[in-house]
Amino acid sequence: MKPLSALSLAATIFLFSCHNRPSAVTLTENSLYVIDTVRMAAAGGDEKAARNKLGEAAGLYKKDTMAGIRLFKSSILLKPTAKAYFDLAGALLSTRQYDEGIKALSVAEALGYTPLANVMFRYAYAYANKPDDTGHLPNSGYVIHYMELAIQMGYAHPGQFLQKDLFPNAMRKSDYDVVFTNTLSGGAVRDPGKPLWDAYRDQFPEIGLPLVIDRPWLENHKLDDPIDFQYEKFIPDMRDARFSREGGTSFYYVARIHKDQAFVALLYGAVDEVVEGDESQNPRLALVTYDRQGKLIDQMTVAGYRVLSEPFLVCSIQPDLKFRVQGFKDVYQNNPDSAGYDHNPVVRREPQSPQDFQIGANGKFQRADAPLALR
């Protein structure tokens, strides 16, 4: 066989290399989430044009969400990148397109987006808010799985898993808080009890002052956000209720009214379960303060009924943390000792002497001499 000339050898190598070089792949809307196609398309494309389009999309998204989504996709079609898919997923999730958002996240993950913990967080958020055909939120298993992964991977803002606007109560099962605190405690923390305190404290929504808690307020702010019994160390009444032989008591998050370097002031609600011979379910609210480590400083029932035989309490809390508690005695048509409270109408409510307090700089409740008008 004759040896190949240098020119012939070069031509042969060129033809061989052209034959084995992967064909250029152009991504389309239909193949946007086909990972094998995306990977081939990522080997080529116009990187500069895609980067410019991605920046344009990020700027437009804040003004016109849907137009921003179209530009995110345009950037991906020019050259797919992990960041473009991650940003597209965020835009899709913000417009409640959860199924497509999850697809975009899966591609971002496959392309190696970092930090990966952020992808896990968005997975958890998507499944927490994605309803099924009946409108229910059945994905708590997925949410807990991705929450664990995100925290274990070092997600920078784990407290977001406790935000009710991000992770609705309808999805959160009884083990959600337990898994959260256990996973957080498994990290490098100096105080193993701190994640439990942080989880309890951060689930109270902030509320503005001044605040008046009266009958209309309680009627318009139903207690529907239960506190898990794993937090009983922070609520003495919860410990007592847990071991009560009579009807049990349920406890609820209400509001955080103050937080500084010395103490935090919270409002929680309690409702006694119905016991035989008593058909009433009347909420009561407690004002409670803790130090920075979660140690109880002071507590007081400030609104609602402690028991029906006592006055209904109304509370007014001012921005300077002065608060007034005033009782209103219900006078019934018939003596409740013999007629009971059910189907026994209240004929009048007699105001009792108000009591004024101040939450001190140390978190203790102090009697205030100056009168504080309800408003």
Query: Read out DSSP for 85-128?
Result: HHHHHHHHHHTT-HHHHHHHHHHHHHTT-SSHHHHHHHHHHHHH
Residue 223 phi/psi, 5-degree rounding, is -85, 105
CATH superfamily placement of domain 14-201: Tetratricopeptide repeat domain (1.25.40.10)
Residue 121 is which amino acid? F
What pLDDT sits at residue 20?
Answer: 46
Domain ranges of the chain: 14-201, 204-367
Task: State the distance between the two ends of the chain, measured CA to CA, in whole angstroms.
Answer: 107
* Assigned token pair, 111: 């392309």
Burial 246-275 (b: 16+ CB within 10 A, else e): eeebbbbbbbbbbeeeebbbbbbbbbbeee
Burial of 202: CB neighbours in 10 Å, binned 0-12, 13-18, 19+ = middle
pLDDT tens across 220-258, in order? 998 888 888 878 889 988 876 654 444 478 899 999 999
What pLDDT sits at residue 137?
Answer: 62
CA distances from 170 to 140, 175, 224 (A): 9, 13, 10
What pLDDT sits at residue 256?
Answer: 96
- Which pTM value belongs to this model? 0.62
The CA distance from 160 to 166, in Å, is 7
Residues (pLDDT < 70) of the chain are 1-24, 132-138, 169-174, 187-194, 240-247, 273-281, 369-375
What pLDDT sits at residue 19?
Answer: 45
